[in-house]
Amino acid sequence: MAALLATNLGATPLLGRGKVRDLYAIGDSLLLVATDRISAFDHVLATGIPDKGKILTQISLFWFEMVKDLVPNHLITAKVSEFPAALQPYADQLEGRSMLVKRAKMFPVECVARGYLAGSGWKDYRASGAVCGIPLPPGLQDGSRLPSPVFTPATKAEEGTHDTNISYAEVEAMLGPAEAAVLERLTLEIYERAARHAESCGIILADTKFEFGKTAEQVILADEVLTPDSSRFWDKKTWKPGGAQPSFDKQFVRDYLEEIRWNKQAPAPGLPEEVVGRTRAKYVEAFRRLTGQEGAF
């Protein structure tokens, strides 16, 4: 089973390659293709995770459908048979891992919702008792549930650097009060619905980040949504505040890289088969538990 690390769609204009996705121009639309690349510590690794791009895409499609009454999204179609004729020769690269989407002017803000304290939120809290300027109760631990979900935006980082948490006031200064309020409302509404569903599947949605854009008509939800790459999913049965929680993502990859004492500088190393297999199994488990589907992986 081989991982797809890069796509090649012939004369189709390639706009760029991100950490995971390849982006192509298709007339007035865009084609997003999720490869099997995996990143850690802000670097893309030499080894991919087979089917990861398919799993991420199918999870996103599930959530787009679930929250479409809360906010419209960028999806035109994910059926390769409905893609333009020029893309049909590349169906083997595109099947299950691609979306034809609307173009939108993207907001320059990562819209993060947190229901639990972890990651950069935990670091902020330890330093200041607050996250993105939002005061939190004293005595919380790494992994604690927050009294209510909070909107904790961040700047969009350049490749190889970290997103930086910012305050709501900074979002207002960037976008204006009206658009800042819309992004906060949508972020928390989507998070709360998704968190309820995940909990019904025995999974905690600790935090997640959304990307929103604007078409001529409206604000839309774009990119990927509520996947293990953009969210912290924890098993409800094993959740115990007081430290880092086992998660449905690239935890095995991070643990391995720490174990070999990689200096977190390019070039990034490859991964042994065992780490690849265990990581893939976690992604598949997240898909199956969240969607109730088996998936062709």
Whether residue 203 contacts residue 290, with contact meaning beta carbons closer than 8 Å, is answered with yes
CATH fold group of domain 106-235: D-amino Acid Aminotransferase; Chain A, domain 1 (3.30.470)
Report the C-alpha gap between 259 and 237 in whole angstroms.
27
Lowest mean pLDDT among 22-36, 150-164, 277-291: 150-164
| 1-103 carries CATH number 3.90.550.10 | no
- Phi then psi for residue 48, to 5 deg, are -100, 175
Place of tokens 């200041």: 128
DSSP label at residue 42? T
Q: 176 in helix, strand or coil?
A: coil
* Cα dihedral value 159, 129, 206, 76, nearest 10: -50
The CA–CA distances, whole Å, from 142 to 16, 232, 239, 276 equal: 37, 13, 11, 27
User: Which SS3 state, helix, strand or coil, does residue 167 take?
Assistant: coil
- How far apart are the C-alpha atoms of 38 and 35, rounded to whole Å? 9
Dig out the tokens for 6 from the structure: 């890069």
Secondary structure letter of residue 73 according to DSSP: B
| Identity at 27, one-letter amino acid code | G
pLDDT (0 to 100) of residue 75: 98
The CA R_g of the chain, rounded to the nearest whole Å, is: 19
Residues of the chain with CATH 3.30.200.20: 1-103
Q: What is the pLDDT of residue 156?
A: 81
Express each pLDDT in 112-147 by its tens digit. Answer: 999 999 999 999 999 999 999 999 999 999 999 999
What's the burial of 139, exposed, middle or buried (CB within 10 Å: 0-12/13-18/19+)?
A: exposed
pTM of the entire predicted model: 0.95
Residue ranges, comma separated, of all CATH 3.30.470.20 domains in the chain are 106-235
What's the one-letter identity of residue 37? Answer: R
- Reference 153, options 169, 136, 176; nearest CA is 169
Report the share of the chain in percent with pLDDT over 90: 92
pLDDT-based confidence at residue 159 (cuts at 50, 70, 90): low
SS3 assignment, position 25: strand
The identity of residue 231, as a single letter, is: S
Question: Which residues on neighbouring strands pair with residue 135, listed in sequence order?
Answer: 130
What pLDDT is stored for residue 158 in this prediction?
64
- Whether the CB-CB separation of 229 and 249 falls below 8 Å is answered with yes
**Element of type H or E holding 277:** helix 273-291
Q: What sign for the dihedral angle of Cα 78, 19, 150, 243? A: positive
